[in-house]
């Protein structure tokens, strides 16, 4: 209809188009993604040659995990931006800002790993305080850019609403997961609180472990505490909604396109999105009350059961009755 509306906004994305879209939209952000894929190799070398440990694990484990996560994150944002048509200056701002902030974050984490000190919650020296402050600033600015992207997606016209809303759900839940990281800066351990109450400055303020110092027993590689609550669980699950929800949306579209009407497929997507958000909040409340990822108290079990019944029951109801009304709704 309008020549300004590019056909890409009305098509389902194909795997072969993924990197082409990224590069066309933002060479800078695509380069940032590729740099972090390269850094995965660098940090693996660091694991092999550097014997230093931080919080009872190899110093280069954290840079490795962040390099992997940021590489995928940058690629995903570049791909999402390829479906936004205008304003071009704002698209470029989001792309360049995302690349700068996350590359800066990664550089500081690698710097601290090379020094053999903690990158997060570290106030032991003035330099370490500045580093952590910069990291917090980068993430706050990144969150603002995500909010702008949500607004642009909301305003963008898509011929297939399900694809649009899968991007929206993924990004919004990722923002919720990202915001949960703020609690880590406020989550003082008993020892930290005691030092601060005495009028002194604690060398470390905050942490991801609830009720204990960071660095205790944890899951392999991920490191999530197996003895106390760990805020990284909900944070991690929430952030990766950015990739998982759009994939669920694509699966719904491909599997049920001929079987269900568009509004019925949208219901399935909203059930999946609400269920995923419920998973994030359930793991968050589990952690904030001091229960580890492998501990399940009565409240966590009840919330999980309700979530499962609502999502699975709703999904089955749509599939059961959707076919009956397919001809009328189409």
Q: Has residue 214 got a pLDDT over 50? A: yes
Q: Which residues pair with 53 in a beta bridge?
A: 58
Is 234 contained in some domain?
A: yes
Tell me the two tokens of residue 13: 């994305």
253, 140: one domain: no
167, 315: one domain: yes
Is 39 contained in some domain?
A: yes
Confidence of residue 324 (pLDDT cuts 50, 70, 90): low
329, 219: one domain: yes
Cβ count within 10 A of residue 193: 12
236, 217: one domain: yes
Is 33 contained in some domain?
A: yes
End-to-end CA distance of the chain: 22
Domain edge (last residue) among 157, 181, 202: 157
pLDDT of residue 86: 83
For 41-55, write each residue's pLDDT tens digit. 999 999 999 999 998
Cα–Cα distance for residue pair 263/282, rounded to 1 Å? 28
Q: If DSSP codes are grouped into helix, strand and coil, which group holds residue 199?
A: coil
Domain edge (last residue) among 157, 191, 220: 157
Asked if residue 323 lies in contact with residue 260, where contact means CB atoms within 8 angstroms, the answer is yes
Is 21 contained in some domain?
A: yes
The CA-based dihedral angle spanning residues 170, 101, 59, 57, taken in that order and rounded to the nearest 10 degrees: -30
327, 282: one domain: yes
Confidence of residue 211 (pLDDT cuts 50, 70, 90): confident
Bond prior to 87 in cis (omega within 30° of 0): yes
Is 3 contained in some domain?
A: no
Asked if residue 224 lies in contact with residue 138, where contact means CB atoms within 8 angstroms, the answer is no
146, 247: one domain: no
Domain edge (last residue) among 157, 186, 205: 157
Domain tally for the chain? 2
171, 264: one domain: yes
Is 2 contained in some domain?
A: no
Q: Has residue 27 got a pLDDT over 60? A: yes
pTM above 0.85, yes or no: yes
152, 163: one domain: no
Q: Which domain holds residue 111?
A: 10-157
93, 198: one domain: no
Phi, psi of 228 (to 5 degrees): -140, 170
Asked if residue 72 lies in contact with residue 89, where contact means CB atoms within 8 angstroms, the answer is no
65, 134: one domain: yes
74, 215: one domain: no
Is 268 contained in some domain?
A: yes
Is 4 contained in some domain?
A: no
49, 101: one domain: yes
Q: Where are the alpha helices (DSSP H) in 180-256?
A: 182-186, 190-197, 232-239, 241-256
């Amino acid at each position: 209809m309008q020549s300004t509306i590019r056909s890409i906004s009305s098509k389902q994305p194909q795997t072969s188009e993924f990197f082409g879209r990224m590069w066309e939209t933002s060479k800078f952000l695509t380069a940032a993604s590729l740099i972090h894929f390269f850094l995965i190799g660098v940090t693996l070398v660091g694991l092999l040659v550097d014997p230093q440990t931080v919080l009872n694990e190899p110093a280069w484990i954290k840079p490795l995990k962040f390099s992997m996560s940021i590489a995928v994150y940058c690629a995903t944002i570049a791909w999402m931006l390829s479906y936004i048509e205008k304003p071009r200056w704002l698209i470029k701002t989001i792309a360049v800002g995302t690349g700068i902030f996350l590359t800066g974050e990664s550089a500081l984490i690698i710097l601290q790993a090379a020094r053999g000190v903690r990158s997060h919650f570290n106030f032991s020296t003035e330099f370490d305080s500045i580093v952590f402050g910069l990291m917090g600033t980068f993430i706050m600015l990144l969150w603002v850019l995500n909010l702008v992207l949500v607004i642009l997606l909301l305003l963008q016209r898509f011929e297939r609403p399900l694809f649009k809303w899968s991007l929206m759900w993924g990004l919004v839940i990722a923002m919720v997961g990202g915001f949960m990281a703020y609690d880590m800066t406020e989550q003082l351990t008993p020892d930290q609180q005691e030092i601060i109450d005495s009028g002194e400055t604690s060398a470390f303020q905050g942490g991801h472990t609830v009720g204990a110092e960071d660095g205790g027993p944890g899951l392999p590689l991920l490191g999530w505490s197996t003895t106390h609550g760990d805020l990284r669980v909900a944070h991690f699950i929430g952030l990766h909604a950015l990739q998982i929800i759009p994939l669920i949306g694509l699966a719904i579209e491909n599997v049920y396109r001929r079987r269900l009407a568009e509004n019925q497929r949208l219901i399935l997507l909203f059930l999946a999105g609400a269920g995923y958000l419920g998973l994030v909040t359930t793991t968050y409340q589990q952690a904030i009350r001091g229960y580890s990822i492998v501990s399940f108290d009565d409240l966590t079990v009840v919330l999980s059961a309700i979530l499962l019944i609502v999502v699975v029951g709703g999904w089955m109801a749509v599939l059961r009755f959707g076919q009956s009304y397919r001809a009328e709704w189409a």
